[in-house]
């Protein structure tokens, strides 16, 4: 049975990375005013006045001002380090281009209270401008080496059932702090994109679960700071991190087992981005991903294989194959 929570008990710290997000930040923080949580904004060297706006208008929000842009991962990790002062059970990640609906924090907390094996919980993210449509209802990863959001642009009413997922989107999710201390924080080699799939993957390897929590609703602008859904910056980083994600989390035999699927996935993505006029960015990112895998910093973060976890690796492999079908259906 989930433990009872006192109405005014603070059990979570919300971490919001910000980089030139003045267009969205104020509405995001206003929506959190009645939520029972500490709030930390980590500013990545913004120059648009958003850092100053937080200081002036939201004195109850803790601001960590960084000297430059350390990426989503760097900002979140510095926020988690700062949040240790709060001694809270949970850490909640939230994009600055979001607006939360009432009850967001408690819904996420209840989900993890009710499942002690759960590492993370993903909120139901809906489109900021068309909230009847899903933006992200939990993330999946498949044998093609593709990560994808369930329900993208589909009716939100179709995604009202809680379920287990592969990983939680870092745009609006909750992490159990005690498990973070075991598996480590976000991998800053990613900078941004797929870091949430990576940490969810690591949690899975350690025998933990990731959940979708439809009662926790967030309205999300989507690519609010980086621009359109597909742009050169995002495509290059995503390509690099896609290669690194496979190398880092799969043992060699699992990579070989999935190699035909991975090569097919790479080819399809290459053709897709060539058609979009972003083929050069995709190929440059792929090259950087291979270089990262061969580098000391890439090798240092590779998940150590343990034969004791063979049953866990087998379950994950089954999901990678099963999620090929999900990619078509969801």
Over the stretch 30-40, which tens digit does the pLDDT of each residue have? Answer: 999 999 999 99
Name the pLDDT band for 226 (thresholds 50, 70, 90).
very low
Q: Could you tell me what percent of the chain has a pLDDT over 70?
A: 96
d(CA 202, CA 68): 28
Mean pLDDT of the chain: 95
Task: Provide φ and ψ at 2, rounded to 5°.
Answer: -60, 145
Element (H or E) spanning 171, and its range?
none
Categorize the per-residue pLDDT at 7 as very low, low, confident or very high, splitting at 50, 70 and 90: low
pLDDT at 278: 96
Residues 46-58 pLDDT 10s: 999 999 999 999 9
Q: Encode pLDDT of 107-160 as tens digits.
A: 999 999 999 999 999 999 999 999 999 999 999 999 999 999 999 999 999 999
Q: In this predicted structure, what is the pLDDT of residue 230? A: 78
Joined together, the tokens standing for residue 267 give: 């080819």
Scanning the structure block, which residue is given the tokens 């990112």? 285
The share of the chain scoring above pLDDT 90, in percent, equals 93
Full DSSP string of 196-211: HHHHHHHHHHTT-EEE
Q: Is the pLDDT of residue 271 over 80?
A: yes
CA distance readout (Å), 27 to 55, 124, 218, 225: 15, 18, 12, 15
Confidence of residue 248 (pLDDT cuts 50, 70, 90): very high
Q: Which residue has the higher pLDDT, 129 or 227?
A: 129
**According to the model, what pLDDT value does residue 222 have?**
78
**Residue closest to 83 by CA, chosen among 105, 50, 98, 61:** 61
Label residue 330 by pLDDT band (50, 70, 90). Answer: low
Of the candidate ranges 162-166, 200-204, 324-328, the one whose mean pLDDT is the lowest: 324-328
Confirm if 263 and 143 have CB atoms less than 8 A apart. Answer: no
Averaged pLDDT for residues 201-218: 98
Distance of alpha carbon 326 from alpha carbon 183, whole angstroms: 27
């Amino acid at each position: 049975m989930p433990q009872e929570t006192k109405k005014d008990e603070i059990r979570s710290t919300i971490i919001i990375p910000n980089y030139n997000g003045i267009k969205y930040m104020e509405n995001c923080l206003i929506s959190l005013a009645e939520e029972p949580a500490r709030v930390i904004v980590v500013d990545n060297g913004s120059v648009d006045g958003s850092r100053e706006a937080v200081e002036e208008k939201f004195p109850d929000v803790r601001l960590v001002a960084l000297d430059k842009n350390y990426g989503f991962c760097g900002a979140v990790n510095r926020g988690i380090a700062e949040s240790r002062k709060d001694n809270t059970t949970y850490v909640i990640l939230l994009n600055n281009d979001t607006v939360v609906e009432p009850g967001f924090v408690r819904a996420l907390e209840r989900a993890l209270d009710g499942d002690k094996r759960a590492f993370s919980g993903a909120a139901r993210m809906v489109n900021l401008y068309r909230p009847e449509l899903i933006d992200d209802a939990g993330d999946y990863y498949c044998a093609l080496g593709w990560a994808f959001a369930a329900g993208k642009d589909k009716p939100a009413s179709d995604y009202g059932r809680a379920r287990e997922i592969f990983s939680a989107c870092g745009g609006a999710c909750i992490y159990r702090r005690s498990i973070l201390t075991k598996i480590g924080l976000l991998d800053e080699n990613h900078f941004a994109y797929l870091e949430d799939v990576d940490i969810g993957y690591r949690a899975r390897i350690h025998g933990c679960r990731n959940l979708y929590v439809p009662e926790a609703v967030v309205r999300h602008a989507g690519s609010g700071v980086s621009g359109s859904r597909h742009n050169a910056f995002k495509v290059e980083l995503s390509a690099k991190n896609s290669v690194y994600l496979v190398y880092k989390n799969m043992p060699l035999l699992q990579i070989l087992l999935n190699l035909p699927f991975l090569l097919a996935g790479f080819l399809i993505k290459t053709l897709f981005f060539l058609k979009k006029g972003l083929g050069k960015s995709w190929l440059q990112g792929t090259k950087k991903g291979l270089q990262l895998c061969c580098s000391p910093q890439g090798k240092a973060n590779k998940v150590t294989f343990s034969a004791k976890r063979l049953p866990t690796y087998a379950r994950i492999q089954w999901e990678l194959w099963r999620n090929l079908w999900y990619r078509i259906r969801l």
